[in-house]
Structure 1
Amino acid sequence: MPDPKSIGRYQVIRPIGSGGMGAVYLAEDPLLKRRVAIKVVKVAGEARNQAMLRFRREAEISAQLNHPNVVTVFDVGVEEEIGPFLAMEYVEGKSLGKHIKEKDLDLETSVRVLIQAMRALRAAHRRAIVHRDIKPDNILLSEEGRAKLMDFGIARTLGHMGLMPEGPLDPDLPPEGEDTGYAQTLALRLTVTGDFLGSPAYAPPEVLKGGEGTPASDRYSFAATAFELLTGQLPHPGSGLTEIIIHILQDPVAIPPDMPPQLAGVFQRALSPDPDERHTTLPEFMEELIDALPGPAHLRAKLFGALTQEDDASGMVSVSRFRASEQAPLTAAQETTDARLRKSQPVRIDLAEDPVASYLTTRRTQARGPEEGTNWLRVLKWVVLLFLLLQLFWWLAPALANFHWND
């Protein structure tokens, strides 16, 4: 089937991605004269209705969040010959997943991207929205350096819009501690039937077993994304999806042998199979992660400052590479980890200024009093002084006129 020339009112420019069930096009909105990315799902029957429901949910959530680190959804609709479509903000850049494959982000940039993505996910959690599909491919990094969380299509609001039934996917789940090969059966079922919503490689055990997504499960997926970003490998490796799922359900996190012990401890807690043992908030995870990073102390200080600024939506962040001469000596383990993180020449990315931050900074400046007011006060003082001098001159003028100097 040839690519469409138009979708709804949007004029298609070119395709920018495709898959087995759909495609993404770059298009232009003729009314607002802006470029948009249009996601199309080519399905029929009940699947088409489900796709439309997901697109509508994604649009509603985008409108609720209205966050600078969340991809904005502009429109949803249906084209009879194409299927449901979703028009969203066009982000010129690459996904975090692609950056991981290309190994082109340095350590500082990677952590700053995580800080921005954390802010988006935290904003969703504050509105009782669970994303349920956090992974590197759903975090975009624009050429200007802004991280954007996308794809809330399977998100749910706590207490509403439940997409999966309570309890396990399989009613024959054995009692806890009894090993009957259930993990392998479940893994095979998930890969064959498609019952699972999300990305199993980044999902926690409780979700793989059929539990609904929660903020704790989102935090697990976020930590798995951070693990892959910093190490280049999944926390639960495998040659295929089945092996990965079995590893998640049965084995502890595969910590690289060269990872510093403190950093390993952070990830072991964040990726614990027990949700109650994980970090209770995203900032708590990020604080421990930054504190455990290899490298000089001033790097961690800068990242802690960025974390505070980002969380308060104040100030702007920028990324610059450190020269080797500025770095403090590393331990042997830290040197190995740092060398792996910098295996290829990382790109320099300036993380864009937060528009919310600019607004708040301006308001704070105004609250302290504008400089113009101070300038007017100085002018008024000079005018009063000049007036007094003139009054003194006119008062003394007659006396000076009649005064005779003695020889």
Structure 2
Amino acid sequence: MSSASTDPMIGRLIDGRYQVKSRIARGGMATVYLATDLRLERRVAVKIMHGHLADDSAFKARFVQEARSAARLAHPNVVNVFDQGQDSDMAYMVMEYLPGITLRDLLKDYGKLTPEQTLDIMDAVLRGLAAAHEAGIVHRDLKPENVLLADDGRIKLGDFGLARATTANTATGQALLGTIAYLSPELLTRGVADARSDIYAVGIMLYEMLTGVQPFIGEQPMQVAYQHANEKVPRPSLVNPSVPASLDDVVIWATSRTPSDRPENAGALLDRLLEAEPSIRSGSSRSDLSAQQTMVMPAGVLNLQDDETRVMTASVLAGAHAGRSRPVNAVSTLSAVAISRRNRGAWLLALVVIFAALAGGTGWYFGSGPGSLALIPTVAGQGSEQATARIVAEGFTTKLVERSSVLVPVGLAIATDPAEGGHATRGSLISIFVSTGPQILKVPSFANLSEAAASELATRTGFVVGASVKQFSADVVLGHVIEALDATGAPLPAEYPDGGAVSFVVSAGSIPSVIGLTVAEATAKLVSVGLIVSTPTESFSDSVPKGIVISQSVPEGAVRPGASVGLDISKGEDLVEVPNVMGLTIAQASAKLQEKGFGFTTNVPAIWYNRLEVTVQNPAAGTKVKRGSTIDIRNDG
């Protein structure tokens, strides 16, 4: 049984209105379900915030902010938000259900896109984003995963979970919640975002669509972040020479490191793309036309009239030849057969009538009756009821057959048997294969396998292996798997769909100990394994020489490359200069020493402290000793 089928939300009625049917996706903040709005009788997507985040006011506020931000955008290229509320302790949001794939899925399947395809998708993305910018909203998390491509051709922008008003340019930690590969330099360095930060993310997406790769790649997120903050995005044509110069210029303009050098909003970038579009498409059209003129040429068209003439001529010639070989005097022959024809006339007439009736019946049976052939309609991608109705309308009977599919959503037709597009006898049975979704597979154990072995096992089982992440571990051997994650980044369940995305958390080995090293040595050693050294602290130590690491501290929980490590550096012994107390009374001298943190001893009885003066102090004034040392003050007179 799959984890989705045991989800307690399946079948639940939310707020007395939304009947949950199945789970669509799960993320770090919320889970999205397919549900039926019983009041309006339509399918909707319900986004439900994870229960463990319900008590976190920041997450809850961000969840509500997404609903409010998206609800303000009534635009055909933005996913509509219909409702938002709370059922018991469960915060939810109701959105438009859009069956299809994401731009990320498209890039995974095709690698890079053509300039024309890129223009089609970017036109829709920028129109939706322009509406957001005009409404004073910055998306702040633009990436291919948030561009939805519907089965019916619509393209919409979704997931406004990080959206903020354009005036809210505060440098908060939340600013860095977006995907690192699409974050602008100002977000990475100052945590500040405005509409031009979205433009930078669009520029990175444009680059990726045209080349199939991201401009900056690194083994660790911090390496990618460093490149975004310090390097210029290269021209896409350096990777894909077929990219037009006009699109090259748009990418460079959108990804300028300085925000003021970029388009001020999505509308300005859209105008530039629309200006470049005619030249790009006309160039493509000329190429395509040329190819069609060369390639598309139906066989037999050019000489059809000549062929017909030759066939007819042959027939005529054959008939003429036969006529020339026939006897000229045929009167006697005709007289001989006339008598027999008169005798057979009656029963021949009966046979003609019978044959005519049979021919007519056969023509009806095979022409328009039950025996006639009909085209099997194309129903792939349609719901089972719609597919059945369409095939029955053509005169067939149907049978639904369930079949698992990685590509076709649950409940939609995959194909038919006999195959759609062919012909079959009216009244015959057509099997419609209906998707039950991906086959649910048992997940093998990947823990402690080498990354290569785990990847091979996952592929052999039927999963798709994604990029791995490194994590330090003292228990798992370097390069071996700590745990496997599903497409949402959660630990992989016991059962998982065929074709599902799997990624591995791979051991980076133990965090090296740098205690006893100099600051330079410790920093070099930590940086070599991908860690960052935060500003060190300093402490006095009687046992550790000055400049040597006393201790190190790492973040709690899982530590991955890019995390910060704290160092405490020795300041050496805590030495204090002994003050001069010569000539002071014992009482005055002792008070001054204690004020500096010293203890004291004396040979003077307490009753004489205010009368006798210090004639000897040991150690002498100006000597540096450990803080808290005891100073001997005496009166030897």
TM-score by length of 2: 0.40
Pick one of 135, 138, 148 that aligns with 2:143.
Answer: 135
**Larger mean Cα displacement after TM superposition, 49-58 or 34-43:** 49-58
Match of 1:92 in 2: 99
**Contact between 2:54 and 2:91, CA under 8 Å: does it hold in 1?**
no
Pick one of 202, 205, 208 that aligns with 2:182.
Answer: 202
- Counting only pairs closer than 5 Å after superposition, residues 287-306 of structure 1 correspond to structure 2 as 288-289=272-273, 298=282
Match of 1:285 in 2: 269
Query: Does the residue aligned with 1:117 lie in a helix, a strand or coil?
Result: helix
In structure 2, distance between residues paired with 1:290 and 1:74: 32
Cα RMSD between the aligned structures?
A: 3.2
- Counting only pairs closer than 5 Å after superposition, residues 368-379 of structure 1 correspond to structure 2 as none
Match of 1:103 in 2: 110
Pick one of 194, 200, 212 that aligns with 1:232.
Answer: 212
Pick one of 291, 294, 307 that aligns with 1:325.
Answer: 291
**Shift of the alpha carbon at 1:267?**
1.8
Q: Over residues 281-324 of structure 1, what are the superposed CA-to-partner deviations in whole Å (9 max), with x where a residue is unaligned? A: 4354345557778996515799xxxxxxxxxxxxxxxxxx9566
For 1:218, give the aligned amino acid.
D
For 2:269, give the aligned amino acid.
F
Task: Give the % identical residues.
Answer: 34
Query: Does the residue aligned with 2:71 lie in a helix, a strand or coil?
Result: helix
Does 1:222 find its partner at 2:188?
no
- Structure 2 vs 1, CA of residues 123 and 289 (structure 1 numbering), >3 Å: closer, same or farther? closer
- Structure 2 vs 1, CA of residues 127 and 2 (structure 1 numbering), >3 Å: closer, same or farther? closer
**Contact between 1:14 and 1:26, CA under 8 Å: does it hold in 2?**
yes
**Contact between 1:58 and 1:73, CA under 8 Å: does it hold in 2?**
no
Query: Does the residue aligned with 2:52 lie in a helix, a strand or coil?
Result: coil
In structure 1, distance between residues paired with 2:281 and 2:47: 44
In structure 2, distance between residues paired with 1:234 and 1:294: 27
Match of 1:29 in 2: 37
Query: Does the residue aligned with 1:65 lie in a helix, a strand or coil?
Result: coil
Match of 2:606 in 1: none
Match of 1:271 in 2: 255
For 1:238, give the aligned amino acid.
G
Segments of 5+ residues of structure 1 without an aligned counterpart are 170-193, 303-320, 329-407
Q: Over residues 242-262 of structure 1, what are the superposed CA-to-partner deviations in whole Å (9 max), with x where a residue is unaligned? A: 221121112221443444582
Greater fraction of residues in helix: 1
Match of 1:357 in 2: none
**Shift of the alpha carbon at 1:265?**
3.6
**Contact between 1:54 and 1:153, CA under 8 Å: does it hold in 2?**
yes
In structure 1, distance between residues paired with 2:285 and 2:259: 30
Pick one of 46, 49, 62 that aligns with 2:57.
Answer: 49
For 2:222, give the aligned amino acid.
T
**Shift of the alpha carbon at 1:45?**
6.0
Match of 1:157 in 2: 165
**Contact between 1:55 and 1:76, CA under 8 Å: does it hold in 2?**
no
In structure 1, distance between residues paired with 2:274 and 2:220: 31
Match of 1:314 in 2: none
In structure 2, distance between residues paired with 1:195 and 1:278: 20
Query: Does the residue aligned with 1:94 lie in a helix, a strand or coil?
Result: strand
Does 1:2 find its partner at 2:7?
yes
- Counting only pairs closer than 5 Å after superposition, residues 158-197 of structure 1 correspond to structure 2 as 158-159=166-167, 162=168, 165-166=170-171, 196-197=176-177
In structure 1, distance between residues paired with 2:77 and 2:200: 20
In structure 2, distance between residues paired with 1:218 and 1:297: 26
- Structure 2 vs 1, CA of residues 273 and 75 (structure 1 numbering), >3 Å: closer, same or farther? same
For 2:192, give the aligned amino acid.
E
**Larger mean Cα displacement after TM superposition, 41-50 or 263-272:** 41-50
- Structure 2 vs 1, CA of residues 20 and 261 (structure 1 numbering), >3 Å: closer, same or farther? closer
**Contact between 2:133 and 2:266, CA under 8 Å: does it hold in 1?**
no
In structure 1, distance between residues paired with 2:69 and 2:29: 23
**Contact between 1:207 and 1:213, CA under 8 Å: does it hold in 2?**
yes
For 2:179, give the aligned amino acid.
S
Match of 2:477 in 1: none
For 1:11, give the aligned amino acid.
Q
Pick one of 8, 14, 28 that aligns with 2:22.
Answer: 14
Q: Over residues 159-204 of structure 1, what are the superposed CA-to-partner deviations in whole Å (9 max), with x where a residue is unaligned? A: 3xx3x734x86xxxxxxxxxxxxxxxxxxxxxxxx77222221011
In structure 2, distance between residues paired with 1:234 and 1:247: 12
Q: Over residues 210-252 of structure 1, what are the superposed CA-to-partner deviations in whole Å (9 max), with x where a residue is unaligned? A: 3332111111111111211121111222234222112111222
In structure 2, distance between residues paired with 1:210 and 1:327: 56
**Shift of the alpha carbon at 1:64?**
2.0
**Contact between 2:184 and 2:200, CA under 8 Å: does it hold in 1?**
yes
For 1:233, give the aligned amino acid.
V
**Shift of the alpha carbon at 1:76?**
1.7
For 1:24, give the aligned amino acid.
V
For 1:2, give the aligned amino acid.
D
In structure 2, distance between residues paired with 1:300 and 1:125: 32
In structure 1, distance between residues paired with 2:95 and 2:41: 14
- Structure 2 vs 1, CA of residues 327 and 273 (structure 1 numbering), >3 Å: closer, same or farther? farther
**Shift of the alpha carbon at 1:38?**
1.3
- Structure 2 vs 1, CA of residues 287 and 67 (structure 1 numbering), >3 Å: closer, same or farther? closer
In structure 2, distance between residues paired with 1:19 and 1:297: 38
Match of 2:48 in 1: 40
Query: Does the residue aligned with 1:99 lie in a helix, a strand or coil?
Result: helix
In structure 2, distance between residues paired with 1:119 and 1:45: 33
TM-score by length of 1: 0.61
**Count of residues in Structure 1 that have an aligned counterpart in Structure 2:** 281
Pick one of 118, 122, 126 that aligns with 2:130.
Answer: 122
Greater fraction of residues in strand: 2
Higher relative contact order (CA 8 A, sep 6+): 1
